[in-house]
Amino acid sequence: MTKTDYRSPLLSRKGAFGALGPDAGVAAHYGDPNAEQRTLARKVHLTLVDYSQLGVVTVEGPDRLSWLTTLSSQVLTNLDEAQSAELLLLSPQGRIDFWAAAVENDGAVWLITERSAAAELTAYLERMKFMLRVEMTNRTDTHAVLGSTLDPRTVESAPAVLREGIVWQDPWANGVADGGYTYTQAGVEHPGSGYSWYLTVVPSHQLLDATEGVALAGSWAADALRIEAWRPRLGNEVDERTIPHELDLMRTAVHMNKGCYKGQETVARVHNLGHPPRRMTFLDLDGSEHTLPRVGTPVFAGEKKVGYISSVALHHEAGPIALALLKRSVDPASELRAIDDGDFDGDGNPAPATHYACSQTVIVAPDAGQVAGRRNMGDFFRG
């Protein structure tokens, strides 16, 4: 994926502090990240998160839904007007190449993905169109995305451009989607059930109008709520080796009963006969350091490196929390440490490493997979 030099006009707002990583170009916060997070979480008033760093691609034409179903991990053939879905485009080895939120609107499927992936996604779709009646357009430069925990179409006081916008509703809160499967252990209450998230696409030139008179929260607030809900993200949890099983994406982004698509053989083989090599886990971090480890910080069990932190945030109630990708074989009862080597001091000398004790909560079960022939499967998994 290519890097971008995007800079949102909302960074001119008072108190705006720029974010880094996949959210570079928008505000991490506007002066009080904890208050912004509480406002966003309470869902009493519409609060917007500037997500204009994301990319937008449209697929138009009469064959769009059947064609995207053929290419992707998801079934879109019956996608109704304004209905939302989530899809993956995989490599032949089943690794995640592209990941997009999808919503049908007025004869087009709008795909929302990371800005750095939008051009590559458009080019890939162009290569795969063959003689079908589909047309792809990269609208990243002409359209912007805003995030919220309330559906702006239902908020009477919301600016008109928001109420008329193209809205994707995250399916994560709805549990296991049709045709999906979850690797979360039976009997565990999934925190995603309390998670609500909407992405609204508006014309870029109306971004300032869309946020006029509406409270703003930064990407730090949105990330904390996402991590709390065990929700993975393309820009954070996906690397060159990631397969859907490792992130529990079978839950909402993979239809297990659809026809052939690229990568399906790996998806089916790991699900039915094998185990994913890694598993996403939720970490409660020791807050005594008064700092947070950086994304990419290695995680150790004893002296052995067993994974890395992929997302981290300071939650307004839970304190420092993170998502991490660990080796499947890591014992859920193991005592873990994240060790951040730190930067260099003013004299160019390496700063001392900071150690963070970590407490695991299992998301993807260590024995996930090998579903075919498993006896009493309901005792282990729910789907």
In-domain check, residue 266: no
Asked if the structure places residue 297 within a domain, the reply is yes
CA distances from residue 323 to 5, 214, 238 in whole angstroms, order as listed: 27, 30, 12
Q: Are residues 336 and 201 in the same domain?
A: no
- Rounded to two decimals, the pTM is 0.93
Dihedral angle at the C-alpha atoms of 36, 38, 41, 44, nearest 10 degrees? -90
Q: Report the CATH number that the domain containing residue 301 is assigned in CATH.
A: 2.40.30.110
What is the predicted pLDDT for the residue at 239? 96
Residues 192 and 46 in one domain: yes
Residues 43 and 164 in one domain: yes
Where a domain ends, among 200, 226, 246?
246
The mean pLDDT of the chain is 93
CATH of the domain at 160: 3.30.1360.120
Residue-wise pLDDT for 90-100, tens only, equals 999 999 999 99
Question: Do residues 311 and 237 share a domain?
Answer: no
* Residues 75 and 23 grouped into a single domain: yes
Same domain, 239 and 100: yes
Decide which of 227, 246, 265 is a domain's last residue.
246
Task: Read off the pLDDT of residues 342-356 as tens digits, 9 standing for 90 and up.
Answer: 765 556 666 788 999
- Using pLDDT thresholds of 50, 70 and 90, give the confidence band for residue 382: very low
Task: Report pLDDT for 342.
Answer: 72
Residue 320 is assigned to a structural domain of this protein: yes
**pLDDT tens-place string over residues 122-177:** 999 999 999 999 999 999 999 999 999 999 999 999 999 999 999 999 999 999 99
| Residues 45, 158 within the same domain | yes
For residue 369, being part of any structural domain is answered with: no
Residue 100 lies in a domain: yes
* 196 and 81 within one domain: yes
- The burial of 105, by beta-carbon neighbours within 10 Å (0-12 exposed, 13-18 middle, 19 or more buried), is given as middle
The pLDDT-based confidence of 2 (bands split at 50, 70, 90) is: low
Percent of the chain past pLDDT 90, that is, above it, reads 88
Q: Is residue 257 part of a domain?
A: no
* 187 and 291 belong to one structural domain: no
Q: Is the same domain home to 153 and 208?
A: yes
pLDDT at site 344: 58
241 and 283 fall within a common domain: no
Of 88-102, 184-198, 239-253, the range with the lowest mean pLDDT is 184-198
Per the structure, the count of domains in the chain is 2
The answer to whether residue 371 sits within a structural domain is no
The domain in which residue 21 lies consists of 9-246
The answer to whether residue 262 sits within a structural domain is: no
Domain final position from 246, 263, 292 = 246
| Same domain for 140 and 52 | yes
pLDDT digits (tens, 9 = 90+) for 131-145: 999 999 999 999 999
